[in-house]
Chains A and B, each alone.
Chain A
Amino acid sequence: MDASPQHGVVRAPLLLISTALALVAMHLFMAPPARLLFGVLPAELALRLGWVALAILWLFLFARFVWRGEEQADEAGP
């Protein structure tokens, strides 16, 4: 992979590790809080909505710390 900052993949290992952790967290930890949050819903739906919530949270963090960095590098030029 190209390691120039403007291509933004210097953070690729960080991205991969945090994605993997987010997926594991989705699987292991979301069921109980999801059931608490969505107690009136069937467990299957509550769990999957919890997954979506975690995905959205992860995306917001990713956009804040990785994506915007790449945009700024783009604006600064090569």
Chain B
Amino acid sequence: MKPISIKNNQSIPRSSIPEFSYEAFFALNTGLVAEKPEIHCVNYFGIPETDGIQLICCMADDLEQVILISSCKIQPDRILPSFSAKLFCFEKFEREIHENFGVKYSDHPWLKPVRYPIDRADQTQQIANYPFYSIDSEELHEVGVGPIHAGVIEPGHFRFICNGEQILHLEIQLGYQHRGIEKLMVQNRELSRLVTLAESIAGDTVIGHTTAFAQIWESLCGFKTTREIDFSRTMALELERIAIHTGDLSALCTDIAYQLGSSVFGRLRTPIINFMQEWGGNRLSKGFIRPGQNRFRFTPELAARLREVLDAFTPDFLEMNKELFSLPSALSRFERTGVVSTEDASAIGAVGMAARTSGVPRDIRTTHPHSLYPELRHEIKVKRHGDVYSRVQMRKNEVIQSIGYLKSMAANLPTEEPIPTLSAPGEGLFALSLVEGWRGEICHCAVTGSKGELVHYKVKDPSFHNWLALALAVRNNEISDFPICNKSFNLSYCGHDL
């Protein structure tokens, strides 16, 4: 028996997913990762059923551009051997399955709470009593930060174990932002509510998450997108990337106390998000993407306006980067700080920009392209050092790359064409959508019931794995370098906590 192989944004009958025994399921999925480095797990979750839990594992094969889906039925009271003991990239998924359903693992190395969801299996677990790792030592001390941080950012708790100024270990506790999105996706029936929920998964990745939802819904409905719809989404994804990367460069300059860079990058973000407002009425693109619709046409006037915005943006952006990269005081903070090795990045299943700076070429735009990405022939940018400096350079490089895409797309506008009507979703389907948001790979999975209603919805933000990359990056660094390490990743709390 083999797993079923699907394309990105493809729907299949749920019944066509082959079911394995746990032993075979274990051997299959751990074997896939071990034998081919281009295969990684994009989602692994459980669906509660009357007679047990159905585990579904989705492995993306980046070479063949397919996703391999397999399943297994288990009883929650059985104690299972964990995938994580063999391959650490499964650790977060298994912790989540344990937390949601109470599934026990005999040999999981780090079976700790993930986000304290409201319907967690073990209600005695309280967020105020997270079981932090600690070392009993006279020399070492602990530093606790959060959940409320110094800046205007989201909440999360960081617990450092330090030897003087040096960080030996960092444990990140999340869950404060949990709003119950996955449950609400199943409880709500109206499309307008579902898409508003998808927009709120992470307010800095509105386009990324809403595109994933829209694609999954359209796939469930058998809807074929028009070129105009694809055009708008691709364009908006790249604009979002430019805006946030530029804002992050500003924040990185703030954290090394470089006022000029902070102000200049900060102000450069404004024309980009203001362009989104001119196009769609909202600076952070809320209300922009709707399944089966192209609400805001990209007119020739907007194309001219975009060229104007980018022509003004580019020289100032490049000038500021040139100055930043030639500044010894900036480089001494960035270089060799917060290193994530290639081995660690691939072992923990890091994705997106953070993985690419550590030499792991993962980018959905190339490996599982959707919308207009097949035409753009995106070339994955990879760096080797995995330090803060690489992540700074990566941001700059990706901004320049995205500007190129926007310019070439704006020179070749799609013609107006009628959009087919969106029917209701099909019954008993499974669908999966992958989108490369600015942080990295976003994966949504949906399962419909006997009336075409959503019975399960699973969201995986790139931060799900990458938080661990941050925890590894700061080891052996000075604690004063934590802010720039953190900012260089800029991970999502709400996208993780859901």
The yes or no verdict on A and B being binding partners is: no
A residues engaging B (CB < 8 A)?
none
